[in-house]
Amino acid sequence: MTNKLRYFVANWKMFGHLNSLNSLNKVIKFKKKNKNAKNLKIIYCPPFTLIHPFIQKLKNTTIKTGAQNCSFGSNYGPPTGSINAMMIKSLKCEYVILGHSEKRAKGETDNIINRKIISALQNNLKVIFCIGETFGQRKKKLTKKTLLSQISKGLKKIKNKKNIIIAYEPVWSIGSGMIPKIEDLENTTRIIKLFLSNKMKYKNPKVLYGGSVNQKNVNLLKNITNLDGFLIGGASQNSNIFIDIIKKTFN
């Protein structure tokens, strides 16, 4: 990952309250003082309740804010508890995570994800589009078929893909502490990038890895040629650990 623009996306999941904003101070200070900081992008994706406070906290920094999901509806409507891309953008939010395996597991289909991506792009949000295979699919050697199908269906009818970042997160790896073998990750990310470039006509695609990324395994993960960064879950909730992951990526 040397000399590449690196993404560190902090997915806070269902974590945090207003006092949690204080934990950002260390990351803000690190980003300002680190000489390699110009070559990285830090994006925080907190729960909906913290998006506005995060944006206010980070407004004088280069650290960006994203949402963890959005509705596929572009306009106001009756779905109780739903938030659409237009509402997220109105907060001056810049990114949104879509297609996360936790949502897919609850019945979110490729078609729904596609509609969400289209809505997000129409509202000028940058999309972090998650793809990943289950353990069963991996065991049956269906990883490639599954990922390419998710990409094809998720990006259907989307011509301009410059504001889409792919996050490869094996479903079986999330929260398990396990990661794929490095040679498997090298091969899988290469397949993803080739497919995006050759079949989807996506110039210079960005691919992140997500799934139990921590300060211990990042020393292995950082050497994967086709990776442009990481989607980090629980480890990003602790500023010291998050900073340590970033530092180790550069070393």
**Residue 100 is a catalytic residue:** yes
Within a domain: 206:
yes
Give the active site residue among 17, 94, 100, 183.
Answer: 100
Q: How many domains does the chain have?
A: 1
pLDDT at 2: 43
- pTM for the model stands at 0.96
Within a domain: 179:
yes
pLDDT at 1: 44
CA atoms of 17 and 25, how far apart (whole Å): 15
Give the active site residue among 17, 108, 169, 183.
Answer: 169
**Residue 169 is a catalytic residue:** yes
Within a domain: 151:
yes
Within a domain: 1:
no
CA atoms of 123 and 89, how far apart (whole Å): 7
Q: What CATH number is given to the structural domain containing 238?
A: 3.20.20.70
Domain extent, residue 212, equals 6-250
Within a domain: 224:
yes
Within a domain: 205:
yes
Profile the chain (251 residues) by mean pLDDT over runs of 10 residues. Answer: 76 97 96 83 97 97 97 91 96 97 93 98 98 95 97 96 96 87 95 96 94 94 94 97 93 74
